[in-house]
Amino acid sequence: MKKKLPEMLNVLTIITIGWSFMMLVSSIVNAFVFSGNIDIVREEIANTDIEGKKGEPFLQVLFEVADTVLEHAELLNYNSMVVYLLSIIAALLMRKLLKLGFWLYICATALEISIPLLLLDNKLAAAAVIVGSIFSLVFIILYGVNYKHLTSN
């Protein structure tokens, strides 16, 4: 007899699959759109005169973060593609009530957080990555609550 998918796990996996699919498509589009334009955008940032303008120190920090992100944009996009593809696979496995899906989702979230933190090496960028990952961390907790429904098969 096949076990029934618990309602909360059903909702969580549907949300994960939908969100991850949209973000995967977005990452793929970004990779193609950005591929030839990163140097142009970085040059525009470098040529922007903010000296003496209101909020200059804050703008300077933002420009430094933007330059660092653009420097690693290609790798960050590839990381996002891997993260969202793994998240979709993880959710599909959890829909089949397999524990492997839970652990795969944790791995995807670890990549989602660790790679940008290692690459960007900036406190503001780190804060943005962590805030952006809050939902993934909440989903780990919610999936963890449903872990008892998953099997090893």
Annotate 117-140 with three-state secondary structure: HHHHCCHHHHHHHHHHCHHHHHHH
Residue 3 lies in a domain: no
Distance, C-alpha 62 to centroid of its chain: 20
Mean local confidence (pLDDT), 15-44: 84
Per mean pLDDT, which range of 9-23, 26-40, 48-62, 129-143 is the poorest? 48-62
Q: What is the pLDDT of residue 20?
A: 97
Residue 136 lies in a domain: yes
Residue 5 lies in a domain: no
Q: What is the pTM of this model?
A: 0.83
Max mean pLDDT range (57-66, 75-84, 98-107, 111-120): 98-107
Residue 4 lies in a domain: no
Per mean pLDDT, which range of 16-20, 30-34, 47-51, 136-140 is the poorest? 47-51
Residue 7 lies in a domain: no
50: containing domain = 12-149
Quick one: residue 54, left, alpha or beta (phi over 0 = left, psi -120 to 50 = alpha)? beta
User: How many domains would you assign to the chain?
Assistant: 1
Residue 6 lies in a domain: no
Residue pointed to by tokens 């496995």:
93
Residue 135 lies in a domain: yes
Please give the Cα distance from 2 to 86 (Å, whole number). 25
